[in-house]
Amino acid sequence: LAELRRQPDVRWLLPGGRHCGLCDAKYVWAARRGIFQSITPGEIDLVVGKDREGFFTNGLTLGAKKCSVIRDSLYVDGDCTMDIRTKSQGGEPTYNVAVGRAGRVLVFVMGKEGVHGGGLNKKAYSMAKYLRDSGF
């Protein structure tokens, strides 16, 4: 990932995003402080798992933060993205999160309060495509 950090496309993403490895030992490759720093291998398993309906009913967690899945196209060829929204617990703001899937990497991008999910999805998609095209 050190090589990737030197790439301009990756530098703009790292301040607000996170990269997770999808190999047998799932772990964080890069993250900024916050909920992305705390994403667990079990949470990654749920995002990439075979059950694509359960999280629409039950939601999911990212870094122990409860979330709702808005749109799941993670395994749709030509898209490979998922849109998520954090749930408010105690009145705090909610945030849009986009996930992009490359071959061995998930890219998580969270917007600031009020940021529309469509722009985040585009960023997650672009970075995941760049990583797929680079062999990741």
As given in the structure block, the two tokens for residue 101 are: 């899937």
Does residue 14 register a pLDDT over 90? no
User: How much is the pTM?
Assistant: 0.80
Find the angle CA(133)-CA(112)-CA(69) to the nearest 5 degrees: 65
- H-run or E-run covering 84: strand 81-86
Residue-range domains of the chain with CATH = 2-133 (3.30.450.30)
Distance between CA atoms of residues 129 and 105, nearest Å: 10
- Quick one: pLDDT at residue 25? 59
Q: Are 43 and 61 in contact (CB under 8 A)?
A: yes
**DSSP output for 2-38:** HHHHTSHHHHHHTTTEEEEE-SSS--EEE--SSGGGG
Dump pLDDT digits (tens) for 79-93: 999 999 999 989 999
Report d(CA 131, CA 106) in Å as an integer: 10
Q: Is 78 left (phi over 0), alpha (psi -120 to 50) or beta?
A: left
Each residue of 38-97: pLDDT tens digit?
A: 889 899 999 999 999 999 999 999 999 999 999 999 999 999 999 999 999 899 999 999
The span from the CA of 122 to the CA of 59, in Å, is: 23
